[in-house]
């Protein structure tokens, strides 16, 4: 489902801060090296949006759930201060080996701590203190309710959680769409809308992006 018509899509992509060589090369290598999985990578405009949000929040301590080949982690980590940290969660050694090369090339390796394990285990093992400034959730959709809960309890007041793919290509409004991922994303969407711990907005960016800011 295209929310934005193709001509407007080209126009808006041309009017974001331009991607640098690192991101452009990463898109190309991901396309060649991961074949059908390359569609999982966030788009250029969404990456520019993440960079802006991290800067606006003034984040120092960030978490990403779902690294793949590292596009979104670069967009987040480069907006952190030099002593900032991004905890990057994934289960794929193969895909994140590409990410690690590009983090190196972008001069961001020192800022990014990769944890190869199911993200729910990594998040549950974190201290309970509310010290996270920014989090991006873009991994297995069935995990979204748990990822949101583990992160929102550790978010500092004013901190922001961003969730990707919250519209599931329109399946959230199709009652016949009942696979586990559809059910989980509808559930987390409903939880966030009713969650008094956060102010939230769901935006028609790409496949739907929710922002939830801790009160």
Residues that bind ligand SAM (CB under 6 A): 40-42, 66-69, 71-72, 89-92, 95, 118-119, 138-140, 143
Q: In this structure, are residues 40 and 68 in contact, taking their beta carbons and an 8 Å threshold?
A: yes
What are the strands, taking DSSP E only, across 12-131? Answer: 61-65, 85-90, 112-116
Nearer to ligand SAM, 105 or 194 (CB): 105
3-state helix, strand, coil in the chain (%, to 5): 50, 20, 30
Residue with tokens 């989980």: 184
Nearer to ligand SAM, 142 or 200 (CB): 142
Minimum distance between the CB of residue 3 and ligand SAM, rounded to whole angstroms? 18
Nearer to ligand SAM, 102 or 189 (CB): 102
Nearer to ligand SAM, 162 or 194 (CB): 162
Q: Is the dihedral of CA 97, 167, 17, 133 positive or negative?
A: negative
State how far the Cα of 143 lies from the Cα of 125, in Å rounded to an integer: 16
First to last CA, the chain: 33
Minimum distance between the CB of residue 102 and ligand SAM, rounded to whole angstroms? 10
Indicate the burial class of 93 (C-beta count within 10 angstroms; 0-12, 13-18, 19 or more). Answer: exposed
Minimum distance between the CB of residue 175 and ligand SAM, rounded to whole angstroms? 25
Q: Which pair of structure tokens corresponds to residue 68?
A: 């793949």
* 3-class state of residue 40 by DSSP: helix
Nearer to ligand SAM, 41 or 51 (CB): 41
Minimum distance between the CB of residue 103 and ligand SAM, rounded to whole angstroms? 12
Furthest C-alpha separation in the chain: 48
Minimum distance between the CB of residue 160 and ligand SAM, rounded to whole angstroms? 16
Minimum distance between the CB of residue 179 and ligand SAM, rounded to whole angstroms? 15
Cβ-based neighbour number of residue 90 at 10 Å = 24
Q: How many residues does the chain have?
A: 215
Nearer to ligand SAM, 55 or 215 (CB): 55
């Amino acid at each position: 489902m295209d929310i934005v018509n193709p001509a407007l899509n080209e126009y808006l992509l041309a009017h974001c801060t331009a991607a640098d060589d690192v991101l452009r090369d990463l898109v190309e290598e991901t396309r060649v090296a991961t074949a059908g999985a390359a569609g999982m990578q966030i788009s250029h405009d969404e990456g520019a949006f993440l960079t802006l949000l991290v800067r606006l929040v003034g984040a120092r301590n960030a978490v990403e759930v779902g690294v793949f080949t590292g596009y979104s982690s670069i967009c987040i980590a480069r907006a952190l201060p030099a002593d900032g940290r991004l905890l990057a969660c994934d289960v794929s050694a193969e895909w994140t080996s590409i990410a690690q090369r590009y983090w190196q090339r972008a001069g961001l390796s020192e800022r990014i701590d990769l944890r190869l394990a199911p993200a729910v285990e990594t998040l549950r093992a974190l201290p309970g203190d509310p010290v996270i400034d920014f989090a991006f959730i873009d991994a297995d959709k069935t995990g979204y309710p748990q990822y949101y809960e583990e992160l929102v309890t550790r978010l500092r007041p004013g901190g922001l959680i961003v969730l990707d793919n919250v519209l599931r290509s329109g399946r959230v409004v199709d009652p016949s769409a009942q696979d586990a991922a559809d059910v989980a994303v509808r559930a987390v969407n409903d939880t966030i809308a009713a969650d008094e711990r956060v102010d939230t907005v769901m935006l028609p960016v790409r496949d739907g992006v929710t922002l939830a800011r801790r009160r």
